[in-house]
């Protein structure tokens, strides 16, 4: 829907089916439709907050509700610890229980009449014979004897284990994080097993989530967090479509009870990120892959008018689902779409991490409610962005404030071997990452060492090692003559990724060549071993962090220029300079009288290297052809 076609989100139509409310996951939707039709299991892999649980719920709507069943558990006269199981169409189980209760009620009334008659007769004899004490004792014995008959009458009443009466859609059961008893069913412990006071075994049987999901969908997020034993039992239930219920605690009296197999014909929708696969039972995944589908879900979609229209629908859905916030004006919707562009982190894309985006929608609605506004406006969305900052954003703001206060980094003047790198905390918060380098004569006759101080991840460590080759190729200096010390200043939370490669290389070259670095500048970028500046993630957030820290310029990979969607307040605060090679970086970052001569020699060396590889055309023309060996 174009902005011209509506005034606010109240005029946007919301599809009645949940499957049609899913935004940007067309391939996953088509797969789910096929899986629902054929009752196939599905494994959804993707980032948190992109709609995996919503897809699972939508699948439950697509399953036929007319197949639903009631499940009853009956006492077993021959073996009380092996209750029997009965299955019937939805709604019939309730009738069976009602009929059994009516029958028991008639028996109870007759038993009460008999008890009153006997007690009255005994008391009358005691009154006539003056044996009151004997009569009272006799009444107690009779009362206790008749009381023991009471549970025997109730033992024939079945228990309604699964009640599907009145359900219009197939069940959806979220079993995320469920322990074995909740997932597979359990038998309650009975401390009164002797003297006829115990609860019948079939009454203590409790259904598991796999049974409540019968003919519906069982959804398990982060399935790899389940123990291997539980995953194995889940696989058995999937294969057999039925599973016996027994006590899950070996020390409980319920461990002696084991029912007949209870139907659990569910469709499994499991989900998680890529990391969850390594902890997933290999046979369980094989079962899903062999008898279902694996889907890798998207975290962004193309920025097109059609997809912007879908995000407008998303905002309307969030307003309706929340039920406590006013509708959004079309200008406010446009601002939410702009935020979706920012959060996508790449050009011509919109984020599909809609749970986080929905948080912004609700926060903006709360701001409007607080101001007693009838609609959510652009100003409310702006205010919501400030108030609903993530923990990472709050930490980043605190880092910037503290590092300014204690002069951890400098945003003015120039220094040798010190540079302001940029990093990202979480997915949407940038910080300045000061890096210092020092080059000392090598202590080893064979080769120098690169020593990095800071909590570095594997990728960051590899990036440090690659820097040596890059510097040798770019400036012709063999750093094996030096011991290079690199410090990631106050990087308490660690450094991961290789987006600090450009910063490290520049700091090392500055230290080796004794040329200062402009401290009003910050930079980010990954380096190839050939000295090319490669794109990085989080460009927008890194630039905003540089601006917040008082930097005047920021260098970013040229290929990231179309990804930038910084807030308006930062546009005039900082100059954004695209760079393609390490030479471009050095030309902008280095300052001082030695810079021009160094850059000139650097470019000349590159031209000379090219000449060495490309022969002179005159030599090619004048050269005699070699004789053929044939």
Question: Catalytic residue numbers?
Answer: 499, 542
d(CA 460, CA 438): 18
| Closest by Cα among 269, 214, 317 to 53 | 269
| Closest by Cα among 541, 509, 497 to 522 | 541
d(CA 429, CA 109): 73
* Tokens found for residue 371: 């101001």
The bridge status of strand 418-425 relative to strand 521-523 is parallel
C-beta of residue 252 within 8 angstroms of C-beta of residue 189? yes
Distance between start and end Cα atoms, the chain: 73
- Between the CA atoms of 585, 590, 595 and 598, what dihedral angle is there, to the nearest 10 degrees? -40
d(CA 267, CA 10): 36
In the block, residue with structure tokens 């203590």:
204
Task: Please write down the HEC assignment for all residues of 192-206.
Answer: CCCCCCCCCHHHHEE
User: 188 — alpha (psi -120 to 50), left (phi > 0) or beta?
Assistant: beta
Q: Establish how many alpha carbons lie within 13 A of residue 518's alpha carbon, considering only the half-sphere containing its beta carbon.
A: 19
Query: Residue 392 CA to chain centroid, in angstroms?
Result: 16
The three-state secondary structure class of 452 is strand
b vs e for 531-558, b when ≥16 Cβ sit within 10 Å of the residue's Cβ?
bebbbbbbbbbbbbbbbbbbbbbbbbbb
Task: Please write down the HEC assignment for all residues of 288-315.
Answer: HHHCEEEEECCCEEECCHHHHHHHHHHH
d(CA 529, CA 276): 33
The three-state secondary structure class of 505 is helix
C-beta of residue 353 within 8 angstroms of C-beta of residue 343? yes
| Closest by Cα among 11, 3, 5 to 327 | 11
In the block, residue with structure tokens 């649980």:
53
The three-state secondary structure class of 406 is coil
Residue 16, φ and ψ in degrees, nearest 5: -70, -30
| Closest by Cα among 426, 424, 422 to 411 | 422
d(CA 72, CA 159): 6
69 CB neighbour count, 10 Å cutoff: 16
| Closest by Cα among 558, 556, 551 to 573 | 551
The three-state secondary structure class of 150 is helix
Helices (H) and strands (E) in the chain, counts: 20, 25
């Amino acid at each position: 829907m174009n902005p011209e076609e509506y005034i606010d989100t109240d005029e946007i139509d919301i599809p009645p089916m949940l499957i049609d409310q899913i935004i940007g996951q067309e391939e996953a939707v088509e797969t789910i439709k096929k899986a629902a039709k054929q009752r196939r299991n599905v494994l959804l892999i993707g980032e948190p907050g992109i709609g995996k649980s919503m897809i699972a719920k939508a699948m439950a709507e697509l399953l036929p509700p007319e197949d639903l069943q009631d499940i009853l558990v009956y006492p077993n006269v021959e073996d009380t610890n092996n209750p029997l199981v009965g299955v019937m169409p939805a709604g019939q189980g309730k009738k069976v229980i009602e009929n059994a209760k009516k029958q028991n009620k008639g028996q109870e009334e007759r038993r009460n009449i008999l008890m009153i008659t006997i007690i009255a007769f005994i008391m009358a004899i005691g009154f006539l014979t003056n044996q009151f004490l004997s009569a009272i004792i006799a009444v107690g014995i009779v009362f206790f004897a008749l009381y023991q008959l009471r549970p025997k009458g109730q033992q024939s009443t079945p228990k309604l284990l699964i009640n599907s009466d009145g359900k219009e859609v197939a069940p959806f059961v979220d079993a995320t994080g469920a322990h074995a008893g909740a997932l597979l069913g359990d038998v309650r412990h009975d401390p009164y097993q002797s003297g006829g006071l115990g609860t019948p075994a079939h009454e203590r049987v409790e259904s598991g989530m796999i049974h409540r999901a019968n003919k519906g969908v069982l959804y398990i997020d982060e399935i790899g967090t389940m123990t291997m034993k539980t995953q194995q039992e889940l696989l058995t239930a999937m294969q057999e479509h039925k599973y016996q219920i027994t006590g899950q605690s070996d020390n409980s009296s319920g461990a002696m009870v084991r029912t007949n197999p209870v139907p659990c014909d569910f469709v499994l929708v499991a989900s998680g990120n890529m990391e969850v696969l390594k902890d997933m039972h290999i046979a369980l995944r094989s079962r899903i892959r062999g008898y279902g589908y694996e889907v890798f879900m998207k975290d962004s979609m193309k920025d097109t008018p059609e997809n912007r229209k879908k995000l407008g629908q998303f905002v309307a859905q969030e307003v309706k689902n929340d039920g406590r916030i006013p509708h959004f004006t079309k200008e406010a919707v446009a601002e939410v779409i702009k935020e979706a562009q920012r959060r996508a982190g790449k050009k011509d894309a919109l984020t599909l991490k809609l749970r986080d985006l929905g948080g912004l929608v609700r926060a903006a609605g709360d701001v409007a409610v607080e101001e007693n506004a009838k609609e959510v406006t652009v100003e409310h969305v702006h205010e919501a962005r400030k108030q609903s900052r993530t923990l990472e954003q709050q930490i980043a703001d605190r880092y910037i404030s503290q590092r300014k206060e204690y002069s951890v980094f400098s945003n003015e003047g120039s220094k040798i071997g010190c540079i302001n790198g940029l990093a990202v905390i979480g997915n949407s918060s940038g910080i300045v990452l000061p890096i210092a380098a020092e080059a000392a004569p090598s202590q080893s006759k064979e080769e120098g060492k690169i020593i990095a101080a800071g909590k570095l991840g594997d990728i960051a460590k590899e990036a440090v090692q690659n820097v040596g080759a890059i510097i040798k190729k770019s400036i012709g200096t063999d750093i094996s003559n030096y011991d290079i010390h690199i410090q990631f200043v106050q990087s308490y939370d660690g450094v991961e990724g290789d987006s600090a490669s450009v910063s490290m290389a520049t700091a090392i070259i500055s230290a080796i060549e004794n040329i200062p670095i402009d401290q009003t500048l910050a930079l980010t970028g990954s380096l190839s071993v050939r000295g090319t500046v490669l794109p990085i993630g989080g460009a927008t957030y890194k630039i905003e962090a540089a601006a917040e820290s008082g930097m005047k310029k920021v260098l970013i990979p040229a290929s990231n220029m179309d990804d930038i969607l910084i807030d308006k307040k930062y546009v005039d605060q900082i100059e954004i300079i695209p760079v393609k090679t390490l030479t471009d970086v050095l030309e902008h970052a280095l300052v001082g009288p030695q810079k021009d001569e160094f850059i000139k020699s650097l470019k000349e060396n590159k031209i000379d290297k090219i000449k060495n590889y490309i022969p002179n055309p005159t030599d090619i023309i004048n050269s005699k052809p070699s004789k053929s060996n044939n």
